[in-house]
Every structure is written in structure tokens, then in C-alpha cells.
Amino acid sequence: MTVQTPVSLEERKDKLQGLGCSRKRVEDARFTQGKGHYVDDIKLPGMLFGDFVRSPIGHGRIKSINKEAALAVPGVKAVLTADDLRPLGLHWMPTLAGDVQAVLADEKVLFQNQEVAFVVAEDRYAAADAVELVEVDYEELPPLVDPHRSMDPDAPILREDIKDKTEGAHGPRRHPNHIFTWEVGDKAATEQALAAAAVVVEEQITYQRVHPCPLETCGCVASMDKINGKLTIWGTFQAPHAVRTVASLITNIPEHNIRIISPDIGGGFGNKVGVYPGYICSAVASIVLGVPVKWIEDRMENLSTTAFARDYHMTGRIAATPEGRITGLWCHVLADHGAFDACADPTKFPAGFFNICTGSYDVPVAYVSVDGVYTNKAPGGVAYRCSFRVTEASYFIERMIDVLARKLDRDPAEIRMINFIRKEQFPYQSALGWEYDSGDYHTALAKALKSVDYDGLRARQKASREAFKRGETRKLMGVGVAFFTEIVGAGPVKNCDILGLGMFDSCEIRIHPTGSAIARLGTISQGQGHATTFAQILASEIGIPAADITLEEGDTDTAPYGLGTYGSRSTPVAGAATAMAGRKIRAKAQMIAAYLLEVHEGDLEWEVDRFQVKGNPERFKTMKELAFAAYNQAIPGLEPGLEAVSYYDPPNMTYPFGAYLCVVQIDVDTGVTEIERFYALDDCGTRINPMIIEGQVHGGLTEALAIAMGQEISYDADGNVHGGSLMDFFLPTAVETPAWETDWTETPSPHHPIGAKGVGESPNVGGVSAFSNAVNDAFAHLGLTHTQMPHDHWRVWQTAQRLGVTG
Amino acid sequence: MSKMHVKMTVNGRAVEALAEPRTLLIHFLREELALTGPHIGCDTSHCGACTVDLDGKSVKSCTVFVAQANGAEVTTIEGLAAADGSLHPLQEAFREHHGLQCGFCTPGMITRAYRLLQENPNPSEAEIRFGISGNLCRCTGYQNIVKAIQAAAQQMAVATTAPGEAAE
């Protein structure tokens, strides 16, 4: 006779691999063997390739386009221009920000590399050959590059299509190059606070134009099936359902006849939220030619045309008491949106959630105004690894706090401690309209300072400065302190929508009779590991091992409707939907258990993977048993089956926070800045998978390093884009990237079903400020308050030279 | 454009095909041979997503014409697992140490690490970082990639040392 060893509670929990465990990723088997399935891997019978003819100039009028030579290239099937799209009404398309964008340049070109014609050929080489042969005759117009000049009376008018429109998507326009003005807060009270303050600091802070630059560029394969009238588009879409709805609205193809599929996506970081001309042109070409058409950007096209980020020119003023207590915050932003307003912000927020710029501080009054303007630059303004405009806001306040500390000759950590929102103030109503759900900032910063021996660092810095004075070293040490509060998980449908689409998200679960499951979500992973982590949430909710749960996302024909993955919204919104759908499963399972165990539902309690009779745990039914019964046993009053769907409309955003410290050593004679140490403490609420959290933090910090220390897309006076290839757009290699130290505190979100807040973007939001504060700190004793990013060797050397410390 | 007859050994298999001489090796591998493991991430040989092994050297296959690979021996990520299907220690280690996220750089990164460990079976952290500096990753921050390569190196050292010889 065999005696079965009873399985302990801990063993049962471990078997689930639920919340809190560092479960290995289920995605990795295919990726490590080269079996990922990305859009450029798709090969369909008869498939053609599309490629763009692009504008060589920043501003001009198209006088003529001659396609003849291009059409004569063997293998070329079509050359489309705006005139070809016009009869379909597809030569312009709506942007996510309520503006319109030319799909193919319509009479004018407005930025360098703008799409002018779309060549379709049998292979990518023939298409590229033909692109060279399309002759476009331009009349050059004066380019408008400096956003500070956009609203000058004599500025060239860029958007002739809307030059007489005095009302834009976000209110009145006062100049043909003006997009919107957005104001939040109490202007009069803030001005009063500034006038009455003992201490006022002011600074001009620019967050330069950068690009998310995922390793895989954007692309798609469009395939129109003329027999059944169905258009299928595989593409790099961070929001496949939104793409389907928008595609239906602009093409008039009924939504059920459009299927959008996001296959594996090679990183997104906000680059793949928008709708780009390549998608429209491929779809039109497929509809016209009756065969599938593939379009894949090259890197230069990616960096110079699809979705830049930032480009915020900010002026800030802080009013404070002599002790350093902030009494008011004023901010004006000049936002350079390029030639079309193609930001991916919720409709009511033309500057995103920039009004989180009071940061982690108890600021009694504040006022923000943002002017959005057009220039002859690529459109975009996307949230590059952050919630909408949150990195800009965080960078602004974290630099301003340091500027205040300098003015008062106080330690930047101390000024932060003095002004933090206190734990007991949560939920906290900010002066600019947000309700912060939870936080414990003092504990987090105190832990960070202790972990890095902050006092020791400052003492070492003092000694190092003295050694510098004595000529014993040519290096300056800087210590950067940054504390951030993010606002993620957009968002409550009552105030968050994109083009009218509410920003809820969804999860649908089917439990199979033998006790395994499939769950489908409205989001789409681009490397975050959803198939691993969402299965963990479910495992803990329904007691089925994560390994027995398949996760599917990205196919609009099968997944429930959702607004996709960006702005750290997957865990706060779809993760919540997952937990809620799991609870519906459990509620039905409880009814089944009550019937099978012949007790009242209320006499049952849930334990890990089963319902057991209260006070008599020997009597139980596991979820696996209940699943089988759900399908195969007639239970009075209950339908067969065990499925659930949840559409989750979050009651609030979530507010992850963290404390970052960075130590740099700057060689003043070369400007080379070594990152000696970087410590990141993150509080993302409940931690689902610590391994994945740590990986996200490493990656986000590396992107922050890139932005702070080197990335920039700039334009010369003629409108030529610089930084448009990896020749000169900085992506750090393993050599420049330091080893990261990670840490955490855990303050669960009170309104999220499992208390999770999202983490993927925090390190980018907090990281940039920490690097920049460290560089500024290195020169603080020489009188520097602020120097602009990126802190590449050249700029750092220039700063050193300006301050008179170069050799 | 006229085509040339190219022959090469790819992942141990003899292949031949007609191709335009200007065809890039990466396109030949991906589109002619359906080996879609190596990827294209840039146009300037910076990112290394297309890295394959060519006659015992790591090359960026977006910068090699198929004509230049004529007669060569090529290994891609698809060729790293053993004949019995068991994974290469690097493939195991990348999973074990969370050395990948979106997976797009992974085939090139592992293929590069494979050659690095042939050249230097016991690299220091600095040598690994330098050795993979031709391969960009936008997701991981490299830390876990470095850890994975270190772990694979150890694993391979153990595997090549016969029992009893390990301890001295």
C-alpha cells in the first residue's frame, strides 16, 4: 500500500508560481532559438514590398512628380502619390491628437524625410532602385526650425491646410503655427506666492528631442482578401484594437472586416503607438493590387520620421521660504510638435500628464501653461518609455528642486525631505488636479541614502574637490539625487480616451475541463513578459499553476477589446482586469464547490488552489476538480462551463515612485563622464515577478543613461535632421553601460485589485534626472545651477571650460 | 540584374541558390533560406542584430554581400542547438538569467557570445562587455546578458573538463 505524503501549503503555493515569485519567462524558448515571429518574418504568397520616396528638404512646395523612370524598373508594380490617394480620401489621416497628417505629401513637404511617394515592387531591392528614380521637383521655402520663432508675426506659415482655422482640437489658435495652449492650476494664486516669497528661483530647462529607437523598426504586412472582403494587417502595433477602430473609421471598411495582428514586437517604448503613413500606404496598395504588401522602415526612416519624443522647452519658477519650504510652482512650456500634432496623449490632455510636475512634493499652489507649436520637423511627441509627458515633468521638477537647493546652499536630499508629501497625507490632492493614491516617500529616500552611505559620498566629494584644488586630480565628482512620482495606468474612462476610445482594458479567461486555461488580453507585450507575469496573477487568483495557463494577446479577432500597452498601463489596467476576471471564475467555482460538498457557499473558504469547508479542511475541492465538474456535471441552476471576462475601468491612475542616486566622475579635460555608481530604489506596489521588475529597471536605466548622456535629434538651420542614424544617435553599448544596483520598498496601490502599480517606465522617468543632477552637482561648487542635456563629452567639456577648470 | 550561383554551408547543411550578387547575406538567409532568427535593426552595422558566424568569425550579415559568402561556412542562431535538439549552454543561460526581453537582439547576441567564448573561454566581465559591444540591446541594460555569458562560460568549462580533472 502506498502512502501519499500530504502536500504542504508552501509546496502547493510554490507549484502555482504565482505572485511574487521570479518565474522564468515562457517567451524565452522561442527567442533564444531564433523562433520569434516578428513582422518582417512574415512571408505570404505573392507578397510585394513598399518603400518611400522621401523629401530631401525641410520645407517646400512640390511642383511635379515624375514616376515614369521608376515604373520602368523591372518588378515595380505601382508608384503612389497623394493624387492617387485623394480619390479614396486617404491622402490625409487623423492623428491621435486631433490633428491631421499627410499620408503622402500633399502639395507641400513639411519636414525632411517626409513621405512623398510609395513605390511597390516585387522585392525590396527593386523598390529601393525605383525610389531613386522618382523625380520630384521642389520649390524650396524658408524652414522654421526654432520653436521660439514659430509664433513670430513674420514666421513662415507651415500648415496651409489649416492656416485659417482659429479653433484647434484643444481650443483657440492665435497663429497659423500655434497648435494649442493648455493651462492648469491657479495662475493668480501662484503669481501671488511668487511675489510674496522670500526666495524665488528661476531656470530654463530644455528636454531635448530624442527617439525611442526600439531595436526592431516599425512595419507591417497588409493583406486584402477580395473574396471575403477582409483586410488583415500584421504590424508593430502597441495598440492593435485602437488601430482596428481607427482603420475602420478612416477607410469605411466595417470593423468586423478588419483584423489587426501584432506578432512578436521587438521593443516599442512608445514608438509603435501611433499610426504611420506606411500602414495606410501598404493597406491601400494591397487593396488596389490584390496581393499582400509589406513595408518595413529602415533605421534612418525610423529615427527621422516615426515618433520622436520630448522636445519640451520649460521655464520654471519656485517660490520658497528661507528654510526651503516650497510655497508655489510656476511653469511654462514651449512644446515643439513638429509639422503635425501626432502626440499619443489622451484627448483631454494635449500636454499629457505634464501637470504631475509638482512631483513628490507638497506644493500648495501651482500653475502650468503649455504652448504647442508647429516647426519643420518630424511629427511625434510620444511617451518614450513613460506615461504621457511624465519624464518631462519629472525632469523639470527634479532639476528645479536642485536649483532651489543650490540657491539656499542646502543639501538636495534635505530639500526633498522637507517638501515631500507625508505618508499620512495620502490620498493626496495635488495643486494641479491629481489624486495621488499612495506613497511613503520619506521611507524610500531614507533607505536609499542609507544604502549608498550618502553622508560618506558627500564627504568623499568634499575631499575630492579639495584634491582637485590642490591639483592632485583632474576629476570632479558629482552626486545626483532624484526622487520621482509617476502617474501611470491610463486611465479612468471618465477622463481618459484616445480619439474617443475609452482607456479601459480587458481579460477573458477560459478554464479547460482538465484544469488548465487560456487567457486573452487587450494589451500586447513588446518584451515586458506578459505571458509570464499575467499567468502569475491568474495563478494566485484561481489556483491553477502559471505553467498551465496560456496567454494570448495581439489578435483583434480573438482578444477582447483593449487600448494596448504603453504608459505602464498593462499591469495597472489589464493586470487588474486579469485579477477581476479570475475572481469571477473563482466565484462560480465556489458555487460548484458548495454543490459538490453539500454545504452553503458561505461555509467555504479559498486556500491557494481549492475551496475547503471552514473548520474542516479535509473536505475540499481543488480548482482542477471544479473545472471538470463545471463542464461535466449537471449542476442545478448553473450553466455549464467556466469562463469569465472582465473589462476594467480603473477608478484612478497609479503612482509608482522611487529614489535614485547616481555618482559620476567627470574628467574636466576631456568631458568624459564615468558613471561610478547608480542605485535605484523603486516602489511599484505589489511585486509580481521580482526578476522581471529588476530586468525592466536595468533596461529603463540604460535608456535614461542614453537620453541624459548622449541622445539628441537636432535640426540645422536649413531643416536637415541630425541624429537620424545610429552613426550619430547614441545607443549605449555594454561598455558604456554601468552595473546597476536595484532596491525596493513596497507600498501597494489601495485601489488596484492586487495593489500593483506598474514599473517598466519608472527607471526612465527617474533615471534621467539622477544622471543630469549628478553632472550638474559635479560643477555646483563652481557656481553652476543648470546645464542642458544631453551631457555628452563635448557639452560637459564646454561646461568645464566655461567654468574655467579645463587645462 | 543578372544572378550568380552561390553555394555555402549553412548550419551544417549544403545550400545553393541563384542570387543577385548585391544581395546582402542577411536577406539571403532570411528570405531565401527562411532562417529568420538573425534580424535587421539598422543600416549602419551598429546594432549587431544580424550577427552570424562566417568561417569562424562573427560578422554583421547586413554588411556582407552574399557573393562574399560564396563557399563559406555560416552558422546562425538556428544552428547552435545540438543535433539531438538540446540547447546550447548560452541559450539555456540567457533564459536562466533573464538575458532577454523583447528577443529581437537575442539571436545576434547569442551568436556573438558563442564566438566570443570560442575565442576566449574564460572572459572577465570587462572582456565580455567589450566582446559584445558590437551588439546593441535596448531592453536589458546588458547586466543580465553579461551574467548569462559568464554562466554559460562556466557551464562549458565544466562540460569540457573530464570528471576528476576538475579539481587540482
What's the CATH number where A58 sits?
3.90.1170.50
CB contact under 8 A, A726 and B47: yes
- A28, A215, A265 member nearest B47 (Cβ): A215
A342, A462: one domain: yes
Judge whether A188 is closer than 8 Å to chain B, CB to CB.
no
Q: Provide Rg for chain B, Cα atoms.
A: 17
Has residue A6 got a pLDDT over 80? no
Please tell me the distance from the alpha carbon of residue A739 to that of residue A718, in angstroms, as a whole number. Answer: 41
Report pLDDT digits (tens) over B110-140.
Answer: 999 999 999 999 999 999 999 999 999 999 9
pLDDT of residue A499: 86
Please tell me the distance from the alpha carbon of residue A340 to that of residue A162, in angstroms, as a whole number. Answer: 11
| Contact call for residues A48 and A280 (beta carbons, < 8 A) | no
Judge whether B60 is closer than 8 Å to chain A, CB to CB.
no
Confidence at B163, pLDDT banded by 50, 70, 90? low
Please confirm, yes or no, whether A385 is among the known catalytic residues. yes
Work out how many domains chain A is built from and give that number: 3
Residue A401 in any domain: the answer is: yes
Has residue A582 got a pLDDT over 70? yes
CB contact under 8 A, B138 and A214: yes
Judge whether A265 is closer than 8 Å to chain B, CB to CB.
yes
Instruction: Quote the DSSP letter at residue A610.
Output: E
Report CA dihedral (A795, A801, A803, A807) to the nearest 10 degrees.
Answer: 140
Reference A309, options A277, A270, A283; nearest CA is A270
| Contact call for residues A362 and A442 (beta carbons, < 8 A) | no
Whether ipTM exceeds 0.95: yes
**Residue found by looking up cell 504608459 in the block:** A567
Residue A211 in any domain: the answer is: no
Judge whether A300 is closer than 8 Å to chain B, CB to CB.
yes
Amino acid present at A100: V
CB contact under 8 A, A699 and B141: yes
Report pLDDT digits (tens) over A248-280.
Answer: 988 899 999 999 999 999 999 999 999 999 999
| Contact call for residues A211 and A308 (beta carbons, < 8 A) | yes
CB contact under 8 A, B132 and A734: yes
A442, A313: one domain: yes
Which chain B residues are Cβ-neighbours of A214 within 8 angstroms? Answer: 102, 104, 138
Residue A389 in any domain: the answer is: yes
Query: What is the SS3 assignment for A530-560?
Result: HHHHHHHHHHHHHCCCHHHEEEEECECCCCC
- Supply the range of the domain harboring residue A342: 308-490+653-802
| Contact call for residues A741 and A629 (beta carbons, < 8 A) | no
Please confirm, yes or no, whether A761 is among the known catalytic residues. yes
Please confirm, yes or no, whether A149 is among the known catalytic residues. no
| CATH number of this structure's domain B4-79 | 3.10.20.30
Please tell me the distance from the alpha carbon of residue A573 to that of residue A577, in angstroms, as a whole number. Answer: 6
Confidence at A4, pLDDT banded by 50, 70, 90? low
Sequential DSSP letters for B40-56: ---SSS-S-TTEEEETT
Chain B residue at shortest CA distance from A29: B95
Mean pLDDT to the nearest integer, A47-73: 98
- B107, B136, B141 member nearest A701 (Cβ): B141
Query: Residue A38 phi/psi, 5° resolution?
Result: -100, 170
Mean pLDDT to the nearest integer, B130-155: 98
- A28, A216, A698 member nearest B140 (Cβ): A698
Confidence at B159, pLDDT banded by 50, 70, 90? confident
Confidence at B168, pLDDT banded by 50, 70, 90? very low
Residue A194 in any domain: the answer is: no
Report pLDDT digits (tens) over A518-576.
Answer: 999 999 999 999 999 999 999 999 999 999 999 999 999 999 999 999 988 999 999 99
A445, A581: one domain: no
Please tell me the distance from the alpha carbon of residue A760 to that of residue B163, in angstroms, as a whole number. Answer: 44
Please confirm, yes or no, whether A299 is among the known catalytic residues. no
If one counts every other C-beta atom within 10 angstroms of the C-beta of residue A153, the result is 5
A663, A767: one domain: yes
pLDDT of residue B160: 82
Judge whether A75 is closer than 8 Å to chain B, CB to CB.
no
Buried b (16+ CB within 10 A) or exposed e, A435-449: ebbbbbbeebbbbbb
Q: Which residues contact A755 (CB under 8 A, 6 or more apart)?
A: A685, A686, A748, A749
C-alpha cell at A700: 529603463
**In chain B, ranges of CATH 1.10.150.120 domains:** 89-160
Identify from A26, A31, A262 which residue to disrupt to test chain B contact, counting B C-beta atoms within 10 A and taking the largest count: A31
Has residue B166 got a pLDDT over 60? no
Chain B residue at shortest CA distance from A75: B1
Residue A606 in any domain: the answer is: yes
A563, A594: one domain: yes
- B81, B98, B128 member nearest A695 (Cβ): B98
Average pLDDT over chain A, rounded to an integer: 97
Please tell me the distance from the alpha carbon of residue B37 to that of residue A41, in angstroms, as a whole number. Answer: 9
| Contact call for residues A314 and A148 (beta carbons, < 8 A) | no
Please tell me the distance from the alpha carbon of residue A274 to that of residue A251, in angstroms, as a whole number. Answer: 17
| DSSP H helical ranges for A548-660 | 576-597, 623-632
A522, A373: one domain: no
Reference A25, options A472, A551, A533, A428; nearest CA is A533
For residue B148, the surrounding DSSP H or E stretch is helix B143-160
Q: Provide, rounded to the nearest whole percent, the portion of chain A with pLDDT above 70.
A: 99
CB contact under 8 A, A731 and B136: yes
Exposed/middle/buried for A564, CB within 10 Å: 0-12, 13-18, 19+?
Answer: buried
pLDDT of residue B43: 86
Judge whether A128 is closer than 8 Å to chain B, CB to CB.
no
Query: What is the SS3 assignment for A700-720?
Result: HHHHHHHHHHCCCCEECCCCC
A14, A103: one domain: no
Looking at A628, A648, A668, the residue that finishes a domain is A648
Find residue A623's DSSP bridge partners: none
- CB–CB contacts below 8 A, A to B: 179
Whole-angstrom CA distances from A426 to A422, A436, A472, A572, A653 are: 8, 7, 50, 19, 14
What's the CATH number where A612 sits?
3.30.365.10
Q: Provide, rounded to the nearest whole percent, the portion of chain A with pLDDT above 90.
A: 96
A540, A471: one domain: no
| Contact call for residues A166 and A172 (beta carbons, < 8 A) | yes
A633, A689: one domain: no
Chain B, window 74-113: residues with a beta carbon less than 8 angstroms from a chain A beta carbon: 76-78, 80-81, 87, 91, 94-96, 98, 100-107, 110
- A34, A727, A740 member nearest B76 (Cβ): A34
A523, A629: one domain: yes
Has residue B167 got a pLDDT over 60? no
| CATH number of this structure's domain B89-160 | 1.10.150.120
Report pLDDT digits (tens) over A683-718.
Answer: 999 999 999 999 999 999 999 999 999 999 999 999
